[in-house]
Amino acid sequence: MAARWIKRTGAVLCVAAVVAVAVVRNTPVGAGPRPDLKPIAHWVFDPEGVVGGKVVVDRCGRWNATLLGSPTLVESEPTPRLELAHPDDGVLVRAKVKPDAAFLPREAVSVVAWVRIDETTEWGGILGCFQDNGPKEAGFILGYNKTGFTFGLAAKSSATGSDGVGTITYLTGKTEARKGVWYHVVGVYDGKQMRLYVNGQLDGTSDAQSGPILYAPSAPMVIGRYRDDDEDFPLFGAIREVMLCDHAVSTEQIAAHFEADRVLAEAGQDPPAGPQFVVEPYLQYATRTNMTVKWETNDPCTAAVEYGTTFPPRQATKAEKLDTMGEVVLSGLEPNTKYFYRVVCTDAEGHQLQGKPLTFMTAVGPTDAFSFTVIGDTQRNPTVTGKVAKLMWERRPNFVIHCGDVVDDGAAKWQWTGDLFKPCNELFSRVPVYPCIGNHEKNHAHYYKYFALPAPEYYYSFRYGNAEFFSLDTNTIRTASLKPGGEQYQWLAKALAASDAKWKFCYHHHPAYSSDADDYGDTAKGPTTAGDIRVRPLLELYEKYKVDVVFNGHIHLYERTWPIKGGKVDQKEGVVHITSGGGGGKLEDIGPTPTFFKQEGRVDFHYCYLTIHQGTLNFKAFDQEGRLFDQLTLRKE
């Protein structure tokens, strides 16, 4: 039975018969009729609600929405739902909503949702129309965090000036958001009090806000993402339905609405038996005869990595210790050869987890062609990181160089699992990644836990084809070691002197040369060092031992210098410095006046792609849409 529509004095009202708010197929039998909550917008993720694989119909007839990314509409038990499994999945209601928009709730608001969270995070969104930018906060958001569900809202009582912004209060409930479990979640604001309900029960209240709702000058309205102008975090899980009301729904109505489908919350309360991957298998430190495979599970496991040149793989190397972190070195491999592999984990109770079949290539020889990509400063932007990682994977590189700040807070484990490894899984599961450590990693143990690099790990080198790569730590705690006589300086001098590679690359987080607007002095108001003076002692070594290219991050933009030697442009013997900090961190800007060294610059998310065959190097830079915006060719005998 479809909903009936009545027009009165130009307004469209949603008259909700029982099944107007019901999911019409494969739905658990409810305890009773669902009350009419009189929503002003209602999105149901079933075959009637999602049209043509792109449009989500608002059953109140006002705000049809658009699917983002590639979510999957599922009709099977326990309920029809939209599965959000990719970093760019979600539902866009409006890209920009003005504060005077006629459809926005004013004096009160209620957001009602059935949702399943498969991966908790620091900031998660179910439905929001808000800005949370430092002191400029406005709007509302029903969401979740690492501990439970949240309801955020700013009212005009919190406004600090005439610019239409104030402070959001985030009300966090007491109920734990268990992974893989369906929840009925409701946020209510009646003009005096914020209330959060979980599964029909009051879960928290706050009296911090009062008066009409405060809206930002412009804000997106999105389902299944925590999105404002400078943040965009995906929901990994599923959504069955979302309702928006312009009044405060009563406690009794909320309880009745939950009771009608209580069986959905009771379904699947027991987590699946056996271990699950927290981080799916990924590759580290490839040589011509070795490959390192790492992974992480939620429960301690032993494991076997099956591998071979045919599938199913016929060989296996085991990790016998019960542990959540797994690491296996596959040795005795053939150079420049394609291998299949998969990881099979077994917990203490004998439950088994079998990873999907994957592939890798061992390192090539000195006369073979190869390619690699460069990215930096992924930080906390899994949407952009996933987008750029997908573009890198399309190039099928042999490996990836990461210029540091792989996460925003090295101590936050969920940023490693959710912001780095999840959006990069397809790439990292088939292509080894070689990072350098950035300041945002904070030298935390997580960096050394998740990466398997040659000792001492914060600096190291590796050989690939006819090139050698030298990774350094330029963070504050290592600054002294970059000076002549320091540990890293001495190591690099000896390693470069001993290298017989045709091509030499160095990479570290902080750039010796940078045209950035304000990281090395405010260029609009005063002088600048035009780069990090702490790393400049290394320039002597780069120039003496004829390093070809130095890669850096830290500055969230793209810049390529002229070849530089002795503080001047030298196109015959100079070193090219490339800043590639466009992996997801908030973009910065180039200073207003040109520097002597800048040859190319661009403010955009991006990655770099290099191909090498013997004495020819081709370098290209692509933006987040896959458009080529810079290129360079170097040749040597």
Instruction: Check: pTM over 0.85? Answer yes or no.
Output: no
> 29 pLDDT exceeds 70?
no
Q: CATH number of the domain at 538, please.
A: 3.60.21.10
CA-wise closest residue to 209 among 284, 123, 109: 109
CA-wise closest residue to 473 among 445, 448, 437: 437
Average pLDDT, the chain: 92
Task: Give the per-residue SS3 of 208-228.
Answer: CCCCCECCCCCEEEEECEEEC
User: Which range marks the domain in which residue 252 is found?
Assistant: 40-266
**Are 160 and 244 members of one domain?**
yes
pLDDT at 164: 63
146-158: average pLDDT: 94
User: Strands 237-245 and 41-44: what pairing?
Assistant: antiparallel
Residue 329: which residues within 8 A CB-CB, separation 6 or more?
Answer: 290, 291, 292, 293, 317
Asked if the structure places residue 10 within a domain, the reply is no
**Are 453 and 597 members of one domain?**
yes
CA-wise closest residue to 186 among 320, 83, 39: 39
**Are 204 and 326 members of one domain?**
no
**Are 390 and 289 members of one domain?**
no
**Are 233 and 297 members of one domain?**
no
518-561 pLDDT, tens per residue?
Answer: 999 999 888 999 999 999 999 999 999 999 999 999 999 999 99
448-469: average pLDDT: 98
49-78: average pLDDT: 93
| Count of the separate structural domains present in the chain | 3
**Are 241 and 283 members of one domain?**
no
Q: Are the beta carbons of 221 and 97 closer than 8 angstroms? A: yes
> Which of the given ranges, 47-61, 78-92, 188-202, 272-286, has the highest pLDDT on average?
188-202
> 16 pLDDT exceeds 90?
no
pLDDT at 165: 77
**Are 592 and 625 members of one domain?**
yes
> Pick from 220, 242, 266: which residue ends a domain?
266
Nearest-angstrom CA–CA distance, 543 and 532: 17
> 296 pLDDT exceeds 70?
yes
> 12 pLDDT exceeds 60?
no
> 9 pLDDT exceeds 50?
no
C-alpha torsion sign, points 220, 221, 222, 225: positive
330-359: average pLDDT: 96
**Are 293 and 151 members of one domain?**
no
**Are 623 and 492 members of one domain?**
yes
pLDDT at 271: 60
pLDDT at 272: 63
> Pick from 336, 361, 386: which residue ends a domain?
361
**Are 486 and 611 members of one domain?**
yes
pLDDT at 270: 60
Q: HSE-up of 524 (CA within 13 Å, CB side)? A: 5
pLDDT at 423: 93
DSSP state at residue 537: H
Tokens representing residue 320 in the block = 């016998």
pLDDT at 163: 61
> 111 pLDDT exceeds 50?
yes
Query: What phi, psi does 232 have (nearest 5°)?
Result: -160, 95
Nearest-angstrom CA–CA distance, 111 and 138: 16
Helix and strand numbers (H, E) in the chain are 8, 42
Which residues on neighbouring strands pair with residue 633, listed in sequence order? 618
pLDDT at 1: 27
> 225 pLDDT exceeds 80?
yes
Q: Is 525 exposed, middle or buried (0-12, 13-18, 19+ CB in 10 A)?
A: exposed
pLDDT at 19: 34
229-252 pLDDT, tens per residue?
Answer: 888 999 999 999 999 999 999 999
pLDDT at 17: 33
Q: How many other β-carbons are positioned within 10 Å of the β-carbon of residue 252?
A: 10
**Are 124 and 254 members of one domain?**
yes
Query: What phi, psi does 193 have (nearest 5°)?
Result: -145, 145
Q: Are the beta carbons of 121 and 95 closer than 8 angstroms? A: no
pLDDT at 92: 97
The runs of H, that is alpha helices, within 177-280 are: 251-259, 262-266
Which residues on neighbouring strands pair with residue 301, listed in sequence order? 323, 347
Query: How distant is the alpha carbon of residue 584 from its chain centre?
Result: 8
Asked if the structure places residue 15 within a domain, the reply is no
pLDDT at 161: 62
> 510 pLDDT exceeds 60?
yes
Instruction: Determine which helix (DSSP H) or strand (DSSP E) holds 436, and give its type and residue range.
Output: none
> Pick from 266, 300, 328: which residue ends a domain?
266
Asked if the structure places residue 315 within a domain, the reply is yes
Q: CATH number of the domain at 323, please.
A: 2.60.40.10
C-alpha torsion sign, points 12, 18, 21, 22: negative
Asked if the structure places residue 583 within a domain, the reply is yes
55-64: average pLDDT: 94
> 41 pLDDT exceeds 60?
yes
